[in-house]
Structure 1
């Protein structure tokens, strides 16, 4: 019987779907060849052994055109060798040499360059990849990757070299077994994938195809066969360091010397111990402090290497905020009028820290982290006798985290998390436990996730609380959706080792989205998302927050990014936190917010990021206007500068400022905030870089009227409060650093840093006068030199 047009169309569609499914379902394999010949890592692949190794070819595009085969003129070929010490990778990446982008950068910084990567899973279990990248400029990047995270703070000892040819570029890599994790079995079967980025066209390829519609790339790997009779080496590394600091400020000059050591030890082929003895974080990036007038603390990024490296398992359940460790003291000071505080430390010194983490052959991940901080005292002076005394504001404190994470079916997990803070003596203790689940169907099309948490705080008054979260949705295809709900009790509190802003509410949230899976005639990527959110106070059922939002994220065919966002709050809401008194609230009128974000293709020498935004309240003259502009220019493959300007004008803002007997005092004010930032880098080569970071944050506010908060949440005029609450605040930071990776894993760094903070009880709108005051009166300068040397036990024993 002849085929009808519809039947022919359906059969053709079936053939296309079958071909596409088979393309992604296949698990490619390649074989490593054992060698005895010495391999010189020079990017030439001229040893005879390379000619004997099988070729891994046929890369498939990951983005933007997912599933498309690489073109013949950009063919990629990879070969694998191994011996008793290491595994070797050689890659021949064809391309027009003029199209290969080669911006030089420091380690772990991708910048604007072509890249080749090797992803290795020694257990082939879809749990964790060891990823090694090298750019066409020779820069190394490496990370530990899990299903939802890449940790680039992890650094391994490995070797690479690249060479540009008339047909493209060549990569040669040597990865010692000490940098990997694998079993002690006689024959190894490793999960493997090879990655290539053609930066000029923003194209990314994998050797084993990765379907963006299925899920994480970590479970879509090929297979490396042929490796036999190798022995996991002793994984013992010592990283001794020494540093010197010289500070100069209005209080005088000071010179400080420090020395210590980090230790990394492989307990077995699965678990690793990391310990830090006498820590030194003096050269970590500065915090971008703002003048915070709200009821909640400012949250900062973690910049200390020990607390960022290999911590994915510890972040289960979102109970850990490591800035608590060595953060501000927990104690308070109450003194009579005849005394004053002359010295109040802003942070507590860390004595040492240790963590053990790994995963068993049956998928059970175990993480234990422990840190101890020292006693910290404030100094109190008697103004009559001039005698001083010490007051303990933080005792010796032990911080502990335990995580048990059972993974199954390569894409799902159930976890138990416990955090505990024990302070010596009568100070506050805290304990929080959580059961966390993340369940996905076998084809990664649907997800069910959530948690249940319980907290206990032992203080003057013991309190317990709990919270629960559940989310379900479709996670694949063009159309996706998600529904979630969260309940948190009034006394739930994980702030001793975590961070939490709001409690005592429940919410409902729904989200739907549409995206293109392959480029169209106008876009490489396009996603539109709609979201409806509502949040209610537990005890009164008043609406705390509620909005409908729609956002668009897109990338044009020229790889320019354009995003739009519109949020409407159609109902009045009630803020239970701004009044600072339990049970009181302030009424927030309905509002609308919108922004547009444009980011031009960073491949161009000149690129621009710009974002205008506006927030309009239903209340008269209550608006916010913002503008972010950030031009960047790449002068050469060595030199780049980025300038950022951020402006915000908040008109008729109403916020808490004081208590007056039983009255809660608010103010109506206009506030202007301007932030100027400049970053730059000059790469002498791929191991030596000079970096510049400068930031000036300036904000001022003028109080227009004082108000009293009524029990209804309304604000009425207050004619009795007459204190001056105008302000001008400046925060300046400047870092100029030189970094040299003089040996694998070993670093010499020099840093010149200055910073200053100034606050006035008046409005100063003169920008130059603000800067002059900072530089002439408040500037604190620090010179520091740090040397870290990475010692591999397997190498050191040969020295002995």
Structure 2
């Protein structure tokens, strides 16, 4: 641990001491707009024919962003901006030397394809966030909220605005009408906003921009030009109410005698979403009985390491303004706020007899949620979210018709508060976060924690035109509950206080609370020149616990990181751009055990013809794990090397593909991985596209953990040689009748099968040689039971079974599909018609993947859901 901290602090001190060369002065372009005369108006038809456009001047002189950064654009672009009391108007002409080759592909909203133009508006003028409005030559609308200086683009933001485009003999034109109520800005006599106009010239795969930005720049929003002349516009307080109505019919295979599986169900549901502008800067979002019925199903996944699987948030209420609530305090997916916890699957299960049937709810009902969020002109980012999930009951009925309910999830209240303040001319910020989870627990659910609280502080400072940065955060957590709940927390795979060889942690079954800390400190170079580098340290103390409302995979770790990258941003006759990176990290636990070190190389090249290749390789000479034996001693893996290569064709073409291969090999064939990836995209005509993504993976492991048992009073940790194969394919197609009416299909079969042989028990878990780590059972020690499927172990050869191992073979099968017709009949109001199919179950481990695909998916009767959802967005 001491060496890790010393190396990290030394790296930070050296990096901070670097004196950067003087950067060239950036010329910030300006556009000066004027207000429309009161009697004039603009019709949004894409033609730019109104005389009202004559009140403002054209501006052009676009330069190339990619690939020939800084050169004059090959196709001319010009634009105008004007406004009235409620709307901002943008008119754009995109000249094209061959108008009949303009790519006008139809797609759903937010799917940018073909030729397009976008305007980015930093109305906060904070140089970190912006609102983006995009329209394609086919009239397809797109909008995104930009944060983290261009590192994050949130396409779930769906404001109400108006746009149209038109193709003519000179190229194509577009008009936009953006309500001020959809933008956020403070009161001022004259507004000064950041501005960028960005065009994609599809045929030449050229990106041109109005305000020149070097590829060496440290970000996107911080480099914008300025929009001047917005005088005496009044901030518009947003008030929108969107009720919805859902009719749902479920049809599924019936089960004889089961009253909860009679073959069909009908559900009528209604709810309300609202958006209230308390000020033009700050918005209150409300939802009552929200419905997420049209959201895509999560992809299939299975984890044999015991850790929870992270799934992306897909629900619109929680995605919007996600950047304000985000608090990634370490690395990976670790986050103080993980919104998937709200509405999670019930954590309790009904206690039933053999003669009872149970209907277990799959998710907790969100009774209501409110979210207050926004950013003020003074640089305050504010967020407050509160949500209540209701009591969830399992319905139970026995064979005689007697019914009862059993509580499986208590009434729970979630609160998240977030604040950040910009200062130092927006080059620095300081922020904080607070979360609270409180449960109303009955006695039979007191294995859950009754309360969980976290708090944190974060900061970032940029200097030398944002080319250099230092950032960090600290997090503290406190969880409370019964002795059983806190003992379960100590024994969970996130903590594993019961580890037999750990001298710094142990299970205390009398405790009723845990308190821990975590955090990060990093310094680096993010822009300027062709080189980038960073280094830092991350820690998670043994008692840190975030999983009531956050996401934490593993505690008890200190990690040192360092990386250096070289960018090749000047195109040549061979490539458009390329980069490569060397990185290294090492980890320790809080007892000082040196657990891992890894060295990695990654490279990417985009060729002149727009094909591309991505490669990577890593060497892991030291791999120790505190979690493999699930509370047993520290385990050593054999040294590992892995590599990958992906390459793909030009994504602009009607037909494009990606092929990928990942290979990992451990010394002594301890374990290996071979993953094959194939992706295909096909758009035979402008209104239709099809994509297929397939993966096949083989992952054998000679020492896959199976179970723990006891032999003569000593713990026995059993592992085995697993032959695991996994296959998945996702299929999507989209047919767009027009930009507001489309049909989309998504389907994904997922199959994972694992069979075990060569069972063994752990002998010396940290031995260098695999043969010294485990001892194999001989044929005389292990036999298969004739009564059940268990393995019987006679370890001491006395003819008596000493212990048994349940057969760990498995085959997991899942299929999910959605067919969705979506019609945005007026801006912001939609009708969804959905047909969903699904099946989840266990296949036959002795069957091949193809056999399980045929029997468990293709040959199985599936659950069907038919759903009609209608919304109407009232703008008051």
TM superposition score normalised by structure 2? 0.84
Partner of 1:455: 477
Q: Note if contact 2:751-2:849 (Cα within 8 Å) is conserved in structure 1.
A: no
Match status 1:397 vs 2:408:
no
Between 365-374 and 174-183, the greater mean CA deviation after superposition: 174-183
Equivalents in 2 of 1:670, 1:190: separation in Å?
Answer: 59
Equivalents in 1 of 2:702, 2:583: separation in Å?
Answer: 27
Q: Note if contact 1:724-1:761 (Cα within 8 Å) is conserved in structure 2.
A: no
Alpha-carbon offset, residue 411 of structure 1? 3.3
Equivalents in 2 of 1:442, 1:238: separation in Å?
Answer: 46
Alpha-carbon offset, residue 365 of structure 1? 1.0
Q: Note if contact 2:28-2:226 (Cα within 8 Å) is conserved in structure 1.
A: no
Match status 1:295 vs 2:269:
no
SS of residue in 2 equivalent to 1:770: helix
Alignment of 1:649-728 (within 5 A): 649-661=698-710, 662-710=715-763, 712-713=765-766, 714-718=773-777, 719=782, 720=793, 721-728=804-811
Per-residue deviation, residues 547-602 of structure 1 (Å, max 9, x unmatched): 1100101111111121000011123x222112221x52322110110110112111
SS of residue in 1 equivalent to 2:326: helix
Alpha-carbon offset, residue 349 of structure 1? 1.1
Alignment of 1:400-411 (within 5 A): 400-408=415-423, 409-411=425-427
Q: Note if contact 1:679-1:692 (Cα within 8 Å) is conserved in structure 2.
A: yes
Partner of 2:103: 101
Per-residue deviation, residues 343-399 of structure 1 (Å, max 9, x unmatched): 43332111111100112232111110111100123456889x996654333211011
Per-residue deviation, residues 624-678 of structure 1 (Å, max 9, x unmatched): 2111011221101111111222111112353222232332222211111111221
Alpha-carbon offset, residue 621 of structure 1? 6.5
Partner of 2:870: 787
Match status 1:440 vs 2:483:
no
Alpha-carbon offset, residue 301 of structure 1? 1.2
Partner of 1:570: 621
Alpha-carbon offset, residue 442 of structure 1? 4.2
Alignment of 1:419-568 (within 5 A): 419-425=435-441, 427-428=448-449, 429-460=451-482, 461-476=512-527, 477-543=529-595, 545-568=596-619
Alignment of 1:25-36 (within 5 A): 25-35=27-37, 36=39
Q: 1:223 aligns with which of 205, 219, 226?
A: 226
SS of residue in 1 equivalent to 2:685: coil
Partner of 1:738: 821
Q: 2:69 aligns with which of 52, 66, 69?
A: 66
Per-residue deviation, residues 61-86 of structure 1 (Å, max 9, x unmatched): 22222222223xx1111112222231
Partner of 1:110: 112
Alpha-carbon offset, residue 542 of structure 1? 3.5
SS of residue in 2 equivalent to 1:178: helix
Equivalents in 1 of 2:808, 2:402: separation in Å?
Answer: 34
1:531–1:339 CA distance, 2 compared to 1 (3 A): farther
Between 414-423 and 227-236, the greater mean CA deviation after superposition: 227-236
Equivalents in 1 of 2:571, 2:520: separation in Å?
Answer: 36
Partner of 1:642: 691
Per-residue deviation, residues 321-361 of structure 1 (Å, max 9, x unmatched): 1110000234467x698897834333211111110011223
Equivalents in 2 of 1:93, 1:407: separation in Å?
Answer: 37
1:495–1:769 CA distance, 2 compared to 1 (3 A): closer
Q: 1:413 aligns with which of 406, 429, 433?
A: 429
Q: Note if contact 2:518-2:538 (Cα within 8 Å) is conserved in structure 1.
A: yes
Equivalents in 2 of 1:190, 1:766: separation in Å?
Answer: 57
Equivalents in 2 of 1:784, 1:503: separation in Å?
Answer: 42
Q: Note if contact 1:702-1:727 (Cα within 8 Å) is conserved in structure 2.
A: yes
Q: 2:854 aligns with which of 771, 780, 784?
A: 771
SS of residue in 2 equivalent to 1:110: coil
Q: Note if contact 2:832-2:870 (Cα within 8 Å) is conserved in structure 1.
A: yes
Alignment of 1:126-205 (within 5 A): 126-146=127-147, 147=149, 148-205=151-208
Q: 2:377 aligns with which of 361, 364, 378?
A: 361
SS of residue in 1 equivalent to 2:322: coil
Partner of 2:332: none
Partner of 2:279: 268
Q: Note if contact 2:144-2:157 (Cα within 8 Å) is conserved in structure 1.
A: yes
Equivalents in 2 of 1:59, 1:297: separation in Å?
Answer: 48
Equivalents in 2 of 1:766, 1:56: separation in Å?
Answer: 60
Alpha-carbon offset, residue 237 of structure 1? 0.5
Partner of 1:285: 296
1:657–1:760 CA distance, 2 compared to 1 (3 A): farther
Between 32-41 and 670-679, the greater mean CA deviation after superposition: 32-41
Partner of 2:358: 342
TM superposition score normalised by structure 1? 0.92
Alpha-carbon offset, residue 775 of structure 1? 4.7
Equivalents in 2 of 1:540, 1:338: separation in Å?
Answer: 50
SS of residue in 2 equivalent to 1:70: coil
Residue segments in structure 1 that go unaligned for 5+ positions in a row: 1-16, 794-800
1:457–1:58 CA distance, 2 compared to 1 (3 A): same
Alpha-carbon offset, residue 623 of structure 1? 2.1
Equivalents in 2 of 1:382, 1:687: separation in Å?
Answer: 50
Equivalents in 1 of 2:397, 2:625: separation in Å?
Answer: 40
1:131–1:762 CA distance, 2 compared to 1 (3 A): closer
Equivalents in 1 of 2:396, 2:166: separation in Å?
Answer: 65
1:447–1:339 CA distance, 2 compared to 1 (3 A): farther
Partner of 1:630: 679
Partner of 2:648: 599
SS of residue in 1 equivalent to 2:231: coil
Partner of 1:77: 78
Q: Note if contact 1:653-1:671 (Cα within 8 Å) is conserved in structure 2.
A: no
